[in-house]
């Protein structure tokens, strides 16, 4: 299949994307949200027909987002006791507070640690699962190498969307919050499912193929057999996410956009990167 023939191009493109993300992160960094730094979140609704002047909150340390018709969310790294008077003074409309919550810096630090641990545990569990599931296939590559390739491409699948989020953070002030971590975990789950489908087809074709048949040919046939299925699944999910992005609440737009990018990148790596990497590793071993 052409994917195996031009594998150097596809793998090189992924390397460029990962390198670009590293450069962007080094230059701009990521803006951590209240979930990880501590602060206040206040939801309010406008009473009557008056409108809220969002420009009045510039320079106050309180960010305001519209969450619907006549409803707003106030975000600040300050405690609620300091945020409430600012809202009262700067608001040009009568507001009714519907919900207010504070996140302390200690809880923010704990959430950061738990998020990192969750990502590490998920990656290690997937590696062990793949190594166990493919234990019957030991030629020409041992089963653990399938797991290693899956992990490398999974890192690619979460690094590239993170690079997009760095741009969003720099340009539009997007903050890393719990939804961002959930998006990364969701991307990992969907992406590894796609990769296992392709790897499983390779396993079955290896069992049914002659020992003299080239490994690259087996991988190429497996990609040809799963190509349409992978693309159709990805397109279906992306269409649903696009509907959520355009018609869903403002507070989930960055979350949805991260999932869309992750779906596209994950499908790309499952087809154009993961299996070609297996052939590269096999050739180097030979």
Domains of the chain: 2-33+106-285 (1.20.1640.10), 39-103 (3.30.70)
Pick the residue with more confidence: 102 or 149?
149
pLDDT at position 11: 93
CB 192 within 8 A of CB 156: no
pLDDT at position 251: 78
Q: Which of 47-51, 106-110, 151-155, 282-286 has the lowest mean pLDDT?
A: 106-110
Reported confidence tier of residue 67, pLDDT bands at 50, 70, 90: confident
For residue 49, pLDDT beyond 80: no
Q: Which of 9-23, 56-70, 145-159 has the lowest mean pLDDT?
A: 56-70
pLDDT at position 105: 63
For residue 285, pLDDT beyond 80: no
For residue 219, pLDDT beyond 80: yes
- Give the pLDDT confidence of 152-194 residue by residue, as tens digits: 999 999 999 999 999 998 888 788 888 888 898 899 888 888 8
Reported confidence tier of residue 138, pLDDT bands at 50, 70, 90: low
Reported confidence tier of residue 262, pLDDT bands at 50, 70, 90: very high
For residue 211, pLDDT beyond 70: no
Whole-number mean pLDDT of the chain?
85
For residue 286, pLDDT beyond 60: no
Is 280 exposed, middle or buried (CB count within 10 Å of its CB: 0-12, 13-18, 19+)?
middle
List Cβ neighbours of 135 (8 Å cut-off, separation of 6 or more). 143
Reported confidence tier of residue 108, pLDDT bands at 50, 70, 90: low
List Cβ neighbours of 1 (8 Å cut-off, separation of 6 or more). 220, 221, 223, 224, 227
Residue 151 CA to residue 42 CA, distance in Å, equals 39
Examine residue 140 and say whether the peptide bond preceding it is cis (omega within 30 degrees of 0): yes
Q: Which of 54-63, 86-95, 136-145, 238-247 has the lowest mean pLDDT?
A: 136-145
CB 42 within 8 A of CB 74: yes
């Amino acid at each position: 299949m052409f994917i195996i023939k031009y594998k150097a191009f596809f793998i090189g493109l992924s390397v460029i994307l990962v390198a670009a993300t590293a450069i962007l992160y080094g230059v701009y960094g990521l803006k951590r949200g209240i979930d990880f730094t501590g602060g206040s979140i206040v939801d309010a609704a406008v009473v009557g027909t008056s409108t809220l002047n969002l420009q009045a909150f510039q320079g106050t340390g309180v960010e305001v987002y519209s969450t619907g018709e006549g409803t707003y969310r106030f975000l600040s790294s300050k405690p609620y006791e300091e945020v409430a008077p600012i809202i009262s003074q700067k608001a040009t409309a009568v507001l009714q507070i519907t919900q207010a919550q504070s996140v302390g810096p200690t809880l923010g630090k704990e959430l950061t640690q738990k998020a990192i641990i969750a990502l590490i545990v998920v990656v290690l569990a997937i590696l062990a699962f793949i190594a166990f599931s493919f234990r019957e296939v030991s030629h020409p590559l041992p089963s653990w190498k399938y797991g290693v390739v899956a992990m490398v491409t999974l890192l690619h699948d979460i690094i590239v969307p993170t690079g997009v989020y760095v741009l969003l953070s720099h340009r539009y002030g997007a903050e890393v919050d719990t939804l961002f971590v959930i998006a990364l975990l969701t991307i990992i789950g969907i992406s590894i499912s796609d990769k296992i489908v392709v790897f499983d087809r390779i396993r079955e074709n290896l069992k049914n193929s002659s020992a003299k048949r080239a490994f690259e040919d087996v991988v190429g046939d497996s990609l040809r057999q799963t190509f349409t299925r992978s693309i159709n699944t990805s397109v279906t999910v992306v269409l649903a996410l696009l509907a959520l992005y355009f018609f869903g609440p403002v507070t989930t737009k960055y979350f949805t956009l991260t999932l869309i990018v992750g779906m596209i990148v994950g499908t790309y790596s499952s087809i154009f990167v993961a299996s070609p990497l297996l052939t590269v590793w096999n050739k180097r071993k030979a």
